[in-house]
A and B are shown apart, each in its own frame.
Chain A
Amino acid sequence: MRIECPLCGSRDRREFYYAGHASALERPDPAASAEIWDNYLHIRENLAGVTNDLWHHETGCGAWLVVTRDTVSHAVLLARLAKRDKK
């Protein structure tokens, strides 16, 4: 498997650390309900199809990436930086 790192180019998956679904980017407000926090931390879809995952280019540039891939065909459709523009 290879991932196209936006900073480094196409790299072998051994350079990356996998960290689950990209919903981890949507951190709830500290005062949000227990249910919202529970969903954020523990509840994940188990999709057959297109999914967005977080991968850390740990032995490369150190960038966290959102990788869009298809869990059925294994196609890697897109990889973008998790870092967003300044709020």
Chain B
Amino acid sequence: MRIAGKGLIDRDSVLNFTFNNKLYQGFEGDTLASALLANDQMLIGRSFKYHRPRGIMTAGSEEPNGLVTVQRGRTQEPNTRATVQQLYEGLVARPQNAWPSLKYDFLGINDLLSPFLAAGFYYKTFMWPKAFWERVYEPIIRRAAGLGELAEAYDHDLYEKAFAHCDVLVIGAGPSGLMAAITAARAGLDVILADESNRLGGRLLSEVEEVDGVTGRIWADAILVELARLSNVRIMTNTTVTGAYDQGTYGALERVAHHMHLSPEGLPLETFWRIAARKAVLCAGALERQIAFPNNDRPGIMTASAMRTYLNRYGVSPGQKIAIFGNNSDAHRTARDFVEAGVEVVAMIDCRQEVLAIGNYTVYAGAEVVGTSGRLGLKAVTIRHNGALKTIECDALGVSGGWNPSVHLTCHMNGRPVWNKDIASFVPQDGAVPGLSVAGAAAGEMSTTGALAQGYAMAQAIARDLGKRPKSFDLPLASEGPYEITPFWDVDGKGRAWLDFQNDVTTKDIKQAAQENFRSVEHMKRYTTQGMATDQGKNSNVNALAVLADATGRGIPETGTTTFRPPYIPVAMAALGAGGHAKGFAPERFLTSDAATQELKAPMIEAGLWYRPSYFPQLGETHWRQSCDREAKMVRKTVGICDVSTLGKIDIQGPDAAEFLDFLYINSVASLKVGKVRYGLMLREDGHVMDDGTCARLGEHYYLITTTTAAAGQVMRHMDFVHQALRSDLDVSFTSVTEHWAQFAVAGPAARDLLNGILTHTITDKTFPFMGCGAVQVGGVDGRLFRISFSGEHAYELAVPAGYGDSLFRLLLDQAAGMGGGPYGMEALNVLRIEKGFITHAEIDGRTTAFDIGMAQMISDKKDCIGKTMAARPGLIGPERDQLVGLKPVDAIKKIIPGAHLFETGAEPIRQNDQGYVTSMCYSPTIKSFIAQAFLRDGRNRIGQTIKMVEHLSGVSTLCEVCDPVFFDPEGGRLRG
């Protein structure tokens, strides 16, 4: 119910929302949880294992029970914590884990079966018979398992990733965080202040105590006003810092649009931040823990501090008759606040003997809650007091077992928290994360005055560390009593006492784990699933290990904690992977001829990130092979045009350029004359082929080399390494110019005629002989011409600055059309190169050597080069190697399949008899046969023999003749024609 005059909500702004198909109203400033509680909706969902009725337990991101599915346009988001979800007009939420309805849940039967479903049940039960696992057990378990359901539709929501940098990252904007932020900001540091909530203030928003003579939230607002005015401060609300990583990197999840019904176009739902901070201050506060007592999980039972939050921040009382159960002084603040708000407080049950009331309420000192009743919501508690049982009617119970400092981030780099017996909690280990200091409740400082002082001191120290001279100023004081606690974890009694509400782990499960010798805290965790739900044990881990410590006769420090790992809260994969799907995963690279190519309706294929034309279909062609055959024949007969700009191009200049290239290529480059091009092969240092390409000498100290499309990046990196790390004595500079030039192959007997139709100056065999290169002009544009051929024809590659690529491609096609020629695509290009025995990365796949591809004789004996020594080592040369050969089918079956393996004709086609494998295959319209390239054991000595190709996947077996890899024009007469 709402309490008049309380809360930071805007009662003039009414918001309509739906939960469980029922309409409700809340106010601006509410969370879904506070609005539901205001409407006396205590039952929110069903628990994971026993399907127990559950209600709201906390008021923050640690919430284990209040998980709902929010329907938002086309998306449904399961496991949304109602305590974090800001209310908006039109919000639609559904309960989870309940069928057919929240009130009558079928799997509630699990609760009755609970004696059989205790820890280890799955491990013990589903062992036999073995065959049952896959067919019977797993499907049943899978159907019952999991929290919430995904929409199983495409996620249309936008997620983003972003990077931020600062001097100081302040994590949490409670008293210590605000103090740290303002201190660092006043010292002139760049500050990022991140807080989970939509409003800064932390616990100050939930308390009535004063800071600096005014209510805490008013003090917080004043600090906020000052922070907001400073240009060196960035305030990030709705942002949870999720992890601490190396060198001051922090992950943070910003919930950008979760509080909107329909977000504006382009606004992401969430942004995942990577924040690089020189220093950070963890001011994450503390989380209140439960006490395990029989049936402590009924709707209406929550933490005492959450009750206070609902009252003071949201103006909501979760009940009309409030009881509090605690072991510390802080719990009394809840009793006091509710009394002062005019809500009936029926009992303050304190297990300590010496208790001082701070308000007008009934205290049961030395008492404990031993039972509760109320199936769908709390109706009464039974307490043991002075040796007698007493039942007290109440509809809400606030529980406080003490506070656990939020040490999580300090453990993300292997830090282990240490036990502090004064507050009966773990506190952070000093220096657990380099550059991260901890202040306030997160450091175990439970008083607000102390938290303010720590925030100030940490920020002052950081400012001095970073070379500032911060001015000192007076610290504000807070009004509050001291924090006193007597450790108390669980109540002995009849009935199950819950620890982990989300995974339904009870004290009995922990004791059973200990009994079955799962005594290590890590073993206990895995055996019972304690702390393995989406709240990661924030509400229950410390209690569970206290129970384990007791059951194993050890102390809590000796028992130790499990490891906290990132992320601090659940993070959607979509947020972590933002920008990394679809085109973000694989950007598209388009040729300058792309538009013209698309106009010709050429199907495109991917070559790395590039899109290249597969073939150019003509009217009447119904199959790619028709187009491919025509294009291949066209190049052999007249002239073809192909965009080859995707090849890597590296511009190399300097007095030592020749020596540098000599060290990279196996063959000599220094001997290349200006105006000539040479084929070159590069090895890795281990003797295997890295890449091949051409090397053109444009001037005395000026080279341009090409790489294959696939290896362009690798070769550039390799050249950087060789130059900087091995040969920094050489005076040479180089840079990638791949995208600076559009380059087109003009191939075929009519190539020169075509070029002479468009070049400013006519070329001849004398000015541009085979493997010649030089400057040309085309349409007033300076270009380069290379007489090189990947087709075996009289061919050129003409390059112009990329901006002229589109017009040059169109011009070349116009010229070709008048000569019976035209464009050709990747399919025909592949046919032409296989006919000539030229290789691609299908052949030089990282496992082959220069010897394997028949180029060992290219390795110059006059110089050293990368890979030379190892290329000569035993095992990389000799008859035991698989060597490049050609294949041609000789029998009725003509099918050759790349990837298929080769066997002796009489041998059984098994691995032990393997003789090699097929790498490339095509139909050659010139040879009028299928032809292939393959690597065959000692292949060069087996030319003319018959070998059997077997492909087990499709069951194809083909007899092939082993041929020289060059099928067409072996003398190369056409190249020079």
Contacts and interface: CB of A to CB of B under 8 A. Distances in A.
B618 interface: no
A75 B434 contact: yes
Given A2-B246, A41-B686, A74-B413, A58 B717 contact: yes
Contacts of B245: 1
B105 interface: no
Nearest to A76: B247
Contact of A86 (B413, B728, B868, B873): B728
A30 B724 CA distance: 19
Contact of A83 (B728, B864, B869, B870): B728
A5 interface: no
A54 B725 contact: yes
Name the 6 nearest CB pairs between A and B, nearest first: A2-B247, A83-B724, A1-B246, A82-B725, A74-B246, A83-B728
B720 A64 contact: yes
10 contacts: A2-B247, A10-B247, A28-B869, A31-B869, A37-B869, A37-B873, A54-B725, A56-B720, A64-B720, A84-B728
A56 B723 CA distance: 13
Q: How big is chain A's contact interface, by range?
A: 20 to 34
A48 to B, nearest CB: 13
Interface in B224-253: 245-249
Contacts of B870: 37, 41
A81 B247 contact: no
* Residue with the highest number of chain A CB atoms closer than 10 Å, among B246, B413, B686, B864: B246
B869 to A, nearest CB: 5
A8 interface: no
A83 B276 contact: no
* Residue with the highest number of chain B CB atoms closer than 10 Å, among A25, A37, A41, A64: A64
A84 B276 CA distance: 31
B685 interface: yes
A78 interface: no
B717 to A, nearest CB: 6
Contacts of B787: none
A30 B663 CA distance: 12
Nearest to A82: B725
A37 B724 CA distance: 21
B349 to A, nearest CB: 48
A85 to B, nearest CB: 8
B729 A19 contact: no
A34 interface: yes
Contacts of A56: 717, 720-721
Contacts of A10: 247, 276
Interface in B411-447: 413, 434
A34 B870 CA distance: 9
Contacts of A27: 685, 726
B121 interface: no
A38 B686 CA distance: 9
Interface in A3-28: 3, 10, 12, 17, 19, 24-25, 27-28
Contacts of A83: 724-725, 728
A41 B274 contact: no
A1 B250 CA distance: 10
Interface in B692-741: 717, 720-721, 724-726, 728-729
B724 A64 contact: yes
Nearest to A56: B717
Interface of B: 163, 245-249, 274, 276, 413, 434, 685-686, 717, 720-721, 724-726, 728-729, 864, 868-870, 873
Contacts of B726: 25, 27
B727 to A, nearest CB: 9
A1 B249 contact: yes
B717 A12 contact: no
Interface string A35-71: 0010001100000000000101010001110000000
Contacts of A41: 685-686, 870
B249 A34 contact: no
Given A3-B247, A37-B870, A42-B686, 11 more contacts: A1-B249, A10-B247, A10-B276, A17-B717, A25-B726, A41-B686, A56-B720, A58-B717, A62-B720, A74-B246, A85-B728
A24 B873 CA distance: 19
B249 A81 contact: no
Contacts of B413: 74
A31 B276 CA distance: 48
Nearest to A25: B725
Contact of A30 (B247, B276, B864): B864
Contacts of B873: 34, 37
Contacts of B434: 75
B729 A63 contact: no
Contacts of B685: 27, 41
A3 to B, nearest CB: 8
A25 B247 CA distance: 26
A25 B726 CA distance: 6
Contacts of B721: 19, 54, 56, 64, 82
Nearest to B736: A62
A2 B248 contact: yes
A4 B245 CA distance: 16
Contacts of A84: 728
A63 B869 CA distance: 27
B869 A86 contact: no
A34 B413 CA distance: 42
A10 B685 CA distance: 31
B717 A2 contact: no
A41 to B, nearest CB: 5
Contact of A63 (B248, B276, B724, B868): B724
A83 B725 CA distance: 5
Nearest to B723: A83
A30 B869 contact: yes
A25 B685 CA distance: 12
Given A1-B245, A62-B720, A64-B725, A12 B163 contact: yes
Contacts of B720: 56, 62-64
Nearest to B685: A41
A33 to B, nearest CB: 10
A12 B864 contact: no
Contacts of B728: 83-86
Contacts of B686: 41-42
A1 B864 contact: no
A68 B869 CA distance: 30
A30 B685 CA distance: 11
A40 to B, nearest CB: 8
A62 B685 CA distance: 20
A30 B865 CA distance: 9
A83 B870 CA distance: 24
A76 B869 CA distance: 35
Nearest to B414: A73
A12 B249 contact: yes
A2 B725 contact: no
Contacts of A17: 717
A75 B435 CA distance: 12
Contacts of A54: 721, 725
Contacts of A76: 246-247
B276 A12 contact: yes
Nearest to A14: B274
A64 B249 CA distance: 23
Given A12-B163, A37-B870, A2 B276 contact: yes
Nearest to A62: B720
A54 B249 CA distance: 21
Contacts of B869: 28, 30-32, 37
Nearest to A24: B725
Contacts of B274: 12
B358 to A, nearest CB: 47
Contacts of A37: 869-870, 873
Contacts of A82: 721, 724-725
Nearest to A57: B720
B518 to A, nearest CB: 29
B248 A81 contact: no
B251 to A, nearest CB: 12
